[in-house]
Chains A and B, each alone.
Chain A
Amino acid sequence: MEPQRRDARHVETTGPGRPRQAVRFPAAGRCLAAILGMAIATLAGPACAASIVPPERAVSFTADVVPILTKAGCNMGSCHAKAGGGQNGFQLSLLGFQPDEDYDHLLKEARGRRVSTAAPEQSLLLLKATASVPHGGGQRIAPDSEAHRVLLRWIGEGAGLGPSDLPALDKLIVEPAGMTLAPGASQPLRAIARYADGSTRDVTALALYESNDRARAEVDGTGLVDIGSIPGTAAVMVRFQGQVTVATFTVPHGTSLTDLPSPRNFIDEHVFDRCRAVGVPLSPECDDATFLRRVSLDVTGSIPTAAEAEAFLADATPDKRERLVDRLLASPGYADWFANKWTALLKNRRDDTSDTVSNFAFHSWVRDSLLANKPYDRFVRELLAATGTIVENPPVAWYKRVKEPKDQIEDVAQLFLGVRIGCAQCHHHPFERWSQDDYHGLAAYFSQVGRRSTSTRGEDLIFHKRGVAVAVNPKTSAKVSPSALGTPEGPIPADEDPRLRLADWLVRPDNPFFARALVNRYWKHFLGRGLVEPEDDLRDTNPPTNPALLDALADHFRQSKFDLKALVRVIVLSRTYQTSAVPLEANAADLQHFSHFLPRRLPAEVLLDSIDAVTGSSTTFANLPAGTRAIALPDTSYNRSSPFLQVFGRPDGQSVCECERVQSSSLSQSLHLLSAADIKGKLSADGGRADRLSKDGSSDPEKIREVFLATFARLPTDAEMAQAVGVIAEPRTTPEGQPLPDPQARRENLEDLLWALLNAKEFLFNH
């Protein structure tokens, strides 16, 4: 399909004029905010001019009335679907997921004033919706609109439920489902509802639309997509009556690629294919120094030492990058760094002194698992189905931190499956296919988790409680058997721990979530951006920027038997990972296709350790051995006593979301690096690098070489060398104006040099 310009737009629902802009409401919470982000239009006449309801049949409350109320925004979370009674005593189910309840609310409450079959025009429903009487939500439906006519007709027909033989909605189709458009182009979408009997219905006017990237594509309430000026990929979600689908738009960068490098593995093949498709060139390969520093930081959370940098730069063998990666993966630093990542996500936080032993045990279990390269599926299985006491079986600690079954399934789904299912606890998930039964079907796997208190305060031992696994849907009071996100489990004997079945399902080859969620999370760790963003929100309506690559990574991970080190290895040895962070003019705008490396600030722990490494000092943490690095801290309690870790955003283990880690920059961070006492103390520490260098017999250029290697993993340029030599030799005076003795002056000059380098972006960022 050819892209259509705005001025040549063809809308099936013909009529003059533009649809009215979406009504915006203040956001209120994650779920609500997402819902409110959807393009919702006041139902005005022109946009809904086509007949919504075929004239040959009666109006159906479920199939016709509810979608009108949904499109008008009446049953949004901020309006009449607000939890706890709706708005002004009128309650509707969120997005019309419970039409039976909605019917009762409309017809049977408020003494029947909301709908008057005797005088349909006087129905409060219409008077409020058209703002003919004061209405807090303003006018939602224009008096002369098709929507108004349908509602009027429904009331006139007796305001019944309507035909009982209407086929069920089977699928929602959007046309076009995907296409390439030029910057500034517009494209109308057409939403088609397909029913169980094979019939179709154009529901373009009734569907809801939302873009996942408004900088690249905006969509209005009529389904008209406006492409922005930034090249890249964007998706528009379309939803109607619980069904969702997505249309994907690619805006090419426009460069014709002829000289892409040779792919080193399947990752490069998929990335280069995508770059070729969108016309974005790759930046050159990064140099050895950059690669050494980058991969050391990403794999071990540490910058290389000056000696390591010098040796690597001097190494002329062709496979030195491969050998470096193998060495890093075999080092305890790998286990420390990734244990740091996982324990935060698994909420290993200390709320009380009595948590200490369990937190240390849990952290150690995670670290040892990584050190031994325990397969990821086994790691998750041991965690999910943990039993016993924490000291004897440390993954039990997860059940101490995540006590409520509700939190257990939501954390498991988000962390290990990339599915945010929390919304479905109370209502059908607005952006996904998950119903309350899906939610409680997952909860049923955890229904037989038995607990018994131990002699440790706040600590239970966990065991499998004999019984048939079942959960109850509180809305319907129906018993729900275990079901793994749409995959019914079948009967589980009372003697079998249902969590083991869930663990079995996770690793099945046809599981569409488990491997994809992990590889996407790790991809983001190394490349700075997930193939799906956020990395733990994998859903049909949030498609990956490179679906083939995501599938290939997941396949590789499965075929490697969930080998995490193998995954890391294949990623960091790809040409894609080794691309320079310096953008080309033609790929500077690309943030989605990995045409250049995306620099990011060093995480709090890594930055603190790196400063210690450069300055030759160490940070002391309460009751831990001297020299314990920040990336090896066993839990989050050390944040409280470390302003540095707080300012630079070390997570507190409150959330299963990686977003709890603050990676943005702030003024307080800059000020801390510039003037905080702890930084000053590290720079001037006795026995520190500045002190040592000022006393050893090396020449100034040798000192500067070491400082640059330790800080940036590279040698200084000639200009840098000349400038640094000048700095070190500069005379200094006391505050009283007396000249400082040479050794002391050189030491302070070296401290200044280190201080300047620590504040350079080249140090603060992994690039």
Chain B
Amino acid sequence: MPHPQPGRRIDCRSLGIWVLALSMAAVSVADLRAQSVCLPLPRLLTLVPAGAQKPGDGQGATTVEVTVSGELLDGWEAGGEAVAPQLIFSHPGITATPILSGEGKPEKDRFLVTIAADVPPGLHDARMMTALGVSSPRVFTIGTNPETLRTAANTTPAQAFPLAPGMVCNAQATAQAADHYRLELQKGQRVVIDCAARGIESKLRPVLILADATGADLVAERRGGLLDFTAPATATYLVKLHDLSFQGGPECFYRLLTHDLPVGAPLPERQAAVAPVLTFSWPPPGLPATPITEEIEGADPKAAQQVTLPLDLGGRFFPAADVDSFEFEATAGEVWWIEVASERIGAPTNPAIVVERRLPAGPDGTPGAFEDVAELADIPPPIKPSTNHYAYDGPPYEAGSADCLGRLEIKETGTHRLQIRDLFGGTRDEPQAIYRLVIRKARPDFALVCWPLHMELRNGDRAALSKPMALRGGGTVSLEVAAIRRDGFDGPIELAVTGLPEGVSATGLRIPAGATRGQILFTAADSPPRNLASVSITGRGTTDGEAIERPCRLAGQCWPIRDGWSEIPFPRLLADTTVSVGGSEASPVTLRTTGAGGTPSAPLEVVEGTTLQVPLEFVKRAEVQGATLQMRVIGPGFDQIPGFEFDVAAPKPLAIDLAKLKIPPGDHAFALVASAVTKYVPMTAGQATPPAPTDIAEILVSTPIHVRVTPAAKEATP
């Protein structure tokens, strides 16, 4: 998906004010009070309809009216005039203009969206630019089928909405009811019904039921799959659609597509779906789009398929309890890397591999038995995700996978057998349980993903929040970066950001050699202009003396989950990384070093092996709870510094013993992190009495602290 307008600027003249009078704040206040663990952020939650048809060949742009809803999607004030929020998309070919009300004023939640002819079909991220900055995204589907919008209640057979094959129907599930659709089918006619829901970020867990005209169930599909039905008689049939537990409402939107297919034809492709976080590590660079060879299902399912290495093979875990065996010859001393993608290409599987070596034949000629050589299972998460216990004890993001990635060292020359099976597949006859098996010589590499830092170790906090990159003046936001290392790559990974909006700087805290975790800090100037840009985050490393650069995808939560016990966090990879500053509010606090010569970004220079004094400045724009903050350090090398208490009222310089940390000469960066509870006062909308302050716990990240360590002067030899 192409990235949108890098460096685009939104005009604004009102900046850097913590408490700012703006219009339309009454709704905002009510929303804010629910947020006790994160400063208020704008979130785009629904688009109705959730997609549109792409222009046909030779056709110009198409337009569709879209209604949005969300949290804190207010506009701002410029030059004494109210400015409506803006709806923006990750593809520049999709644009939106507000629909004007009868008085000629823009409506804040209705837009006319124009889709240019060059917009590719698929999912594109929509966002709102608001007073507080850019919102969290919501996917918007560009499809090739005609679209319709269900407009009236259809919860009874009599109200059934007519479905036409090939038409996409946009709707939202009705709570405590089933939505009814009507299909007129001829005897023997086959329809396949596809409901896009989780794949387009809906909270709906769709249940599709094909019923007769009276509503009596005939076939049901409850796992989000396709409903495949061939009419036994010419008649009217009903499609009943509801949530698995009968939830409903605006957040349970869906797109229902009916295919008319000949009997025996293969199932159609599913509607486009967002990418789960774990897919960031697939495919490895340079891998062809399709496998070079395919698994051969022989008459004897236990017989091994003969292959040679290297191997790039596509296969299926089908039927249930399928075990695929491959035999190959290998020579002692060879080292191969094995990678399997199955879960990462959308199959509900848990692949596992065992490699065995055939032992010599017995004296009577009986074939030799096999002995284990290697066993490969899951790709471990580079950062341990939360266990969803009393409080989150890790990020609510899983970057590992049930797929396999590991090393195979051949100890003895001979015939080897690789068996691959699905640990979830004992009873599941699912043809879509596909896998791709790659056995290659080492090609050291890495893949990166990042996500907003989440609060940890706060008792009872199970909020998994969508956190758009909407910076406040003077604030620093950290992204946590996770790396999957391939084929023995163990060098450091430097993190960099390009395309930043004006007034925002970024610093990557390097992923050290062998490590899998790093950070990127985004810092807004104290009074930056309202602005946003789609940025590019990359990691750079060196392998075999050659520099490689890999993209780092941003992940986010689809919904602001405020209690992970009752609602399951649901993250995905975003189409792009949009960074903004809202300009309406400033960060409640800023922690920074005064830097060399009083310039915060200037590196502090220090000699190797000596003690570094870091002068700290704590800027309070709101009341902070407690006299001290429990501070920890992030950044390679410096993260060994034990946690310490930071005096809010009288910050003392931080003394760092470089000799103890064994910090080598060179340029380094680190930051300080704490949890802080501040008294937040929202924008007051010109009210005579400002709203009461709210206690909000937030992650406080210092501006990056740059250090230049110079080599110690060598003592002259006597």
Which of A335, A368, A624 has its CB near the most chain B CB atoms (within 10 A)? A368
Give the interface segment out of B81-89, B112-120, B563-571. Answer: B563-571
A153 to chain B, nearest CB (A): 58
B428 touches A387 (CB 8 A): yes
**In the complex where A357-B245, A466-B375 touch, is A495 in contact with B426 (Cβ < 8 A)?**
no
A625 touches B246 (CB 8 A): yes
**Chain B, interface SS category:** loop
What sequence of 0s and 1s flags, for each residue 335-363 of chain A, a beta carbon within 8 Å of any chain B beta carbon? Answer: 10000000000000000011011001100
B222 touches A365 (CB 8 A): yes
Does A386 count as interface, using CB distance less than 8 angstroms? yes
A547 to chain B, nearest CB (A): 34
With beta carbons under 8 angstroms apart, the residue of B205, B246, B421 that contacts A495 is B421
Per the 8 Å Cβ criterion, residues 340-397 of B in contact with A are 348, 350, 352, 354, 375, 385-388, 396
**Chain A, interface SS category:** mixed
**In the complex where A332-B216, A455-B564, A463-B424 touch, is A391 in contact with B387 (Cβ < 8 A)?**
no
**Docked complex Cα distance between A623 and B243 (Å):** 11
**Docked complex Cα distance between A637 and B634 (Å):** 47
A495 / chain B contacts, CB cutoff of 8 Å = 323, 354, 419, 421
With beta carbons under 8 angstroms apart, the residue of A371, A461, A499, A624 that contacts B246 is A624
Does A364 count as interface, using CB distance less than 8 angstroms? yes
**In the complex where A388-B348, A457-B388, A625-B176 touch, is A466 in contact with B354 (Cβ < 8 A)?**
yes
**Docked complex Cα distance between A356 and B244 (Å):** 9
**In the complex where A455-B569, A624-B246 touch, is A381 in contact with B427 (Cβ < 8 A)?**
yes
Does A119 count as interface, using CB distance less than 8 angstroms? no
Chain B, Cβ-Cβ closest to A634: B245
A385 touches B566 (CB 8 A): no
A387 touches B223 (CB 8 A): no
A391 touches B426 (CB 8 A): no
What sequence of 0s and 1s flags, for each residue 634-668 of chain B, a beta carbon within 8 Å of any chain A beta carbon? Answer: 00000000000000000000000000000000000
B207 / chain A contacts, CB cutoff of 8 Å = 364
**In the complex where A495-B421, A626-B176 touch, is A453 in contact with B388 (Cβ < 8 A)?**
yes
A457 / chain B contacts, CB cutoff of 8 Å = 388, 564-565
B321 touches A388 (CB 8 A): no
A533 / chain B contacts, CB cutoff of 8 Å = none
**Docked complex Cα distance between A351 and B366 (Å):** 57
**Docked complex Cα distance between A391 and B388 (Å):** 18
**Docked complex Cα distance between A463 and B422 (Å):** 9
**Docked complex Cα distance between A360 and B423 (Å):** 25
A387 touches B426 (CB 8 A): yes
Chain B, Cβ-Cβ closest to A353: B566
A360 / chain B contacts, CB cutoff of 8 Å = 244-245
B424 touches A455 (CB 8 A): no
What sequence of 0s and 1s flags, for each residue 663-695 of chain A, a beta carbon within 8 Å of any chain B beta carbon? Answer: 000000000000000000000000000000000
B222 touches A361 (CB 8 A): yes
With beta carbons under 8 angstroms apart, the residue of B205, B423, B425, B427 that contacts A450 is B423
What sequence of 0s and 1s flags, for each residue 385-399 of chain A, a beta carbon within 8 Å of any chain B beta carbon? Answer: 111110111110000
**In the complex where A357-B245, A499-B426 touch, is A456 in contact with B222 (Cβ < 8 A)?**
no
B246 touches A623 (CB 8 A): yes
Chain A, Cβ-Cβ closest to B221: A368
A456 touches B246 (CB 8 A): no
B398 / chain A contacts, CB cutoff of 8 Å = 455
With beta carbons under 8 angstroms apart, the residue of B177, B321, B396, B568 that contacts A497 is B321
Per the 8 Å Cβ criterion, residues 458-477 of A in contact with B are 461, 463-466
B568 touches A455 (CB 8 A): yes
Interface residues on B, range: 35 or more
**Docked complex Cα distance between A438 and B246 (Å):** 45
B533 to chain A, nearest CB (A): 32
A357 / chain B contacts, CB cutoff of 8 Å = 205, 244-245
**In the complex where A365-B222, A371-B217, A455-B564 touch, is A463 in contact with B423 (Cβ < 8 A)?**
yes
B220 / chain A contacts, CB cutoff of 8 Å = 364, 367-368, 371
Per the 8 Å Cβ criterion, residues 201-252 of B in contact with A are 205, 207, 216-217, 219-220, 222-223, 242, 244-247
A387 touches B424 (CB 8 A): yes
B105 to chain A, nearest CB (A): 40
Does A331 count as interface, using CB distance less than 8 angstroms? yes
**Docked complex Cα distance between A495 and B219 (Å):** 35
Does A310 count as interface, using CB distance less than 8 angstroms? no
Count of A-B contacts with CB under 8 A?
Answer: 111
Does B178 count as interface, using CB distance less than 8 angstroms? yes
With beta carbons under 8 angstroms apart, the residue of A335, A356, A385 that contacts B217 is A335
A181 to chain B, nearest CB (A): 50
What sequence of 0s and 1s flags, for each residue 413-448 of chain B, a beta carbon within 8 Å of any chain A beta carbon? Answer: 000000101011111100000000000000000000
A388 touches B222 (CB 8 A): no
Q: How many residues of A contact B (CB 8 A)?
A: 47
B111 to chain A, nearest CB (A): 34
B323 touches A382 (CB 8 A): no
A391 touches B223 (CB 8 A): yes
**Docked complex Cα distance between A464 and B569 (Å):** 26
A337 to chain B, nearest CB (A): 14
With beta carbons under 8 angstroms apart, the residue of B245, B385, B386 that contacts A623 is B245
With beta carbons under 8 angstroms apart, the residue of A365, A389, A391, A500 that contacts B205 is A391
B348 / chain A contacts, CB cutoff of 8 Å = 388-389, 392-393
**Docked complex Cα distance between A353 and B567 (Å):** 10
**Docked complex Cα distance between A331 and B216 (Å):** 7
A387 touches B425 (CB 8 A): yes
B141 to chain A, nearest CB (A): 23
B216 / chain A contacts, CB cutoff of 8 Å = 331-332
Chain A, Cβ-Cβ closest to B211: A332
**Docked complex Cα distance between A528 and B251 (Å):** 48
Chain A, Cβ-Cβ closest to B397: A455
A585 to chain B, nearest CB (A): 45
B569 / chain A contacts, CB cutoff of 8 Å = 455
What sequence of 0s and 1s flags, for each residue 196-209 of chain A, a beta carbon within 8 Å of any chain B beta carbon? Answer: 00000000000000
**Docked complex Cα distance between A625 and B243 (Å):** 11
What sequence of 0s and 1s flags, for each residue 318-331 of chain A, a beta carbon within 8 Å of any chain B beta carbon? Answer: 00000000000001
**Docked complex Cα distance between A386 and B207 (Å):** 21
**Docked complex Cα distance between A30 and B559 (Å):** 50
A500 touches B426 (CB 8 A): yes
B427 touches A385 (CB 8 A): yes
B419 / chain A contacts, CB cutoff of 8 Å = 495
**Docked complex Cα distance between A382 and B178 (Å):** 28
B359 to chain A, nearest CB (A): 16
Chain A, Cβ-Cβ closest to B567: A354
A453 touches B352 (CB 8 A): no
B375 / chain A contacts, CB cutoff of 8 Å = 466
A368 / chain B contacts, CB cutoff of 8 Å = 220, 222
A388 / chain B contacts, CB cutoff of 8 Å = 348, 350, 424, 428
B451 to chain A, nearest CB (A): 14
**Docked complex Cα distance between A70 and B591 (Å):** 81
Chain A, Cβ-Cβ closest to B176: A625
A332 / chain B contacts, CB cutoff of 8 Å = 216-217
Chain A, Cβ-Cβ closest to B215: A332
**In the complex where A357-B244, A625-B176 touch, is A464 in contact with B217 (Cβ < 8 A)?**
no
What sequence of 0s and 1s flags, for each residue 536-574 of chain B, a beta carbon within 8 Å of any chain A beta carbon? Answer: 000000000000000000000000000011101100000
**Docked complex Cα distance between A198 and B396 (Å):** 70
B717 to chain A, nearest CB (A): 60
**Docked complex Cα distance between A624 and B425 (Å):** 33
**In the complex where A361-B222, A364-B207 touch, is A466 in contact with B246 (Cβ < 8 A)?**
no
**Docked complex Cα distance between A165 and B354 (Å):** 50
A468 to chain B, nearest CB (A): 12
A456 touches B427 (CB 8 A): no
Known contacts A360-B245, A456-B388, then 5 further A-B pairs from the complex at CB < 8 Å, ordered by chain A residue: A361-B244, A364-B222, A389-B348, A394-B222, A625-B242
The 7 closest A-B pairs by CB, nearest first: A463-B423, A388-B424, A387-B424, A385-B426, A332-B217, A360-B245, A497-B426
Residue pairs across A and B with Cβ atoms less than 8 A apart, 12 shown, are A356-B245, A360-B244, A368-B222, A386-B426, A387-B426, A388-B348, A393-B348, A455-B569, A466-B375, A500-B427, A623-B246, A623-B247
